[in-house]
Amino acid sequence: MSPKPIQSEQSAASRAGRALFVALLAGAAIAVARAADEQPIDRGSTVRPATVFDFPDRSGKPLGQLPPNAPLEVYERQRLWLRVKPPAGLAGPAGWVQLMDMRMGFGVAPALAPAAAAPARAAPVPAADPGMFASFSRSVSGLLAGFQSRPSSYAGSNATIGIRGLTGAELNASSPNWQALAEVERYAMPPQQAQLFANAGGLVPQHILYPTSPAPAPAAQTSPFERPSPFGGRPR
Amino acid sequence: MKPASFLRTAFFMFAGFAAPGHALDLGGMLQNLDVNKVVATGQKLSAATQEMPVDEEIGLGRELAARILGAAPPLADPAVQAYVNQVGRWLTLHTERPDLPWHFAVAATDDVGAFATPGGSVILTAGLLRLMRDENELAGVLAHEIAHVVHKHHVRAIMKRARAQLATELATELAAQYVAKNPLVTQALLGAGMSLYGSGLDQGDEYAADRAGMVIAARAGYDPTGLVYLLTTLDSLGVGDARMQLLSATHPPTRSRIDALAALADQLAGYTGSLQDGGRFAHIQESLLR
């Protein structure tokens, strides 16, 4: 038997390997390029010391710890997990943090508007470690500025009341607006139309019972949803 | 609400504080009132329903909704109103009370808040709608309000407050009056209701509505963590923000609400929602900002 075919196969395997390697390199390059272009989908800051994981689960490998009030840019969300990076110019680990450890901003488009645009309003949290997160205050002001820069009146509405600071006293003193009630009652939606709306949005109903107690035991033997409702309603 | 619709409630309420469990010595103040008859009727009604009858609940809720709209009028945007009604009505179909005359409204105010009144009226502020990122968050808020209605949090709180108020006022002013015909009953219910919207429900009811709302949203095919995400946004606004004034005065601290939902969110991990809204939420928000 001639060894040639074998050499040929080896050669083919080698070529395939090289091709794969090149492809992987190219893929990695594209991924790097994409990462460089990646735009945050949201912004927020930690509310307490938060662990950064390499994977969106507490079983993931911890990559580092963030202090409270660390500003972060969010690039991806998986339910209660956010893939985050520190904003440009700030050091800190990048990876996955839990949503529960965060307070979130108001979208990203106008979020980093000049801090001067934000009215003098108390920032919701004190400034963080000035060394590592020196620009935190500016970042939070930016978060708020994005929301505050939006218009505060509504198209088609001639309402001038209630623009700011609706209070309990105002509610107590208000007179019934029957015309407004009649107007909003006209928008009531028949169930059939709601069903069509749900279908169009891909909403698939699920069978879930109410949870059983205000503070479910963490190590329940059976599913906590398979017992009677504590809310008084009949389980579905 | 038709005055007549308060009659049964009045009997029921009076029975509530005249019955032995709520012993109240009205003494000679009620000498002309046929207490036995009223109590007997009230107990009969009470035994039959244990609750305010549904038609009265709806009537009371409409009165209260009209007053809330008197302070915060509806947004004049049919597309926004119809959209919120579609999301809300779909959610109600996954509750124990799908047959109430549910309707949803967006109020034209920058304030951040939402109100539910008995019988199925839900009012959401434009200020809150503008803070949301997607329909999952809207579903989370509406489901929280729907949970208040489904579990009758407001009705029970109003009845409790009105009973306490009537006990005092009847003793001093109503001695010889036939209780159900007295306008104080109507006033007590409405007054208790409106004061409730300024002071808030029991905090336990708010936590319960958060939890039940997450389940209702998940049942309807939404991502139940939408409510949590929105709460983390409200946490950024903080209690010092004027737009949060009423919400802060009437709800537990936002951070406590978030933390209280952690365990349930984990339990609902299998329900990620199936929403593919095709841009409809973004379209509605754009129309809010025009």
pLDDT in tens, chain A (236 residues): 344 444 444 555 566 666 666 666 655 555 554 556 789 999 999 999 999 999 999 999 999 999 999 999 999 999 899 999 999 999 999 999 999 999 998 654 333 222 222 333 333 333 333 333 333 333 444 444 444 434 444 433 333 333 456 888 888 889 999 999 999 999 999 999 999 999 999 999 999 998 875 544 444 333 444 333 433 333 33
Helix (H) or strand (E) holding A98: strand A95-98
Any B CB within 8 A of A176 CB: yes
Global ipTM: 0.82
Chain A residues whose beta carbon lies within 8 Å of the beta carbon of residue B199: 168
In this structure, what token pair is assigned to residue A133?
């997160």
Chain B residues whose beta carbon lies within 8 Å of the beta carbon of residue A215: 263
Which letter, b or e, does each residue of B115-131 get, where b requires 16 or more Cβ atoms within 10 Å of its Cβ?
bbbbbbbbbbbbbbbbb
Cβ distance of A102 and B77 shorter than 8 Å? no
In this structure, what token pair is assigned to residue A123?
């920032």
Any B CB within 8 A of A236 CB: yes
The CA distance from A57 to the nearest CA of chain B, in Å, is: 11
Cβ distance of A207 and B211 shorter than 8 Å? no
Top residue of A184, A185, A231 to mutate, by most chain B CBs within 10 Å, is A184
The CA distance from B36 to the nearest CA of chain A, in Å, is: 32
How far is residue B142's CA from residue B104's CA, in Å, rounded to a whole number?
9
Q: Say what the pTM is.
A: 0.74
Would you tell me which residues 151-170 of chain A have a C-beta closer than 8 angstroms to some C-beta of chain B?
Answer: 151-152, 154-159, 161-170
Cα Rg, chain A, nearest whole Å: 27
From the list A124, A172, A232, the residue facing B236 with the nearest CB is A124
The 10s digit of each residue's pLDDT in B160-202 is 888 777 776 665 554 445 444 556 677 788 888 898 999 899 9
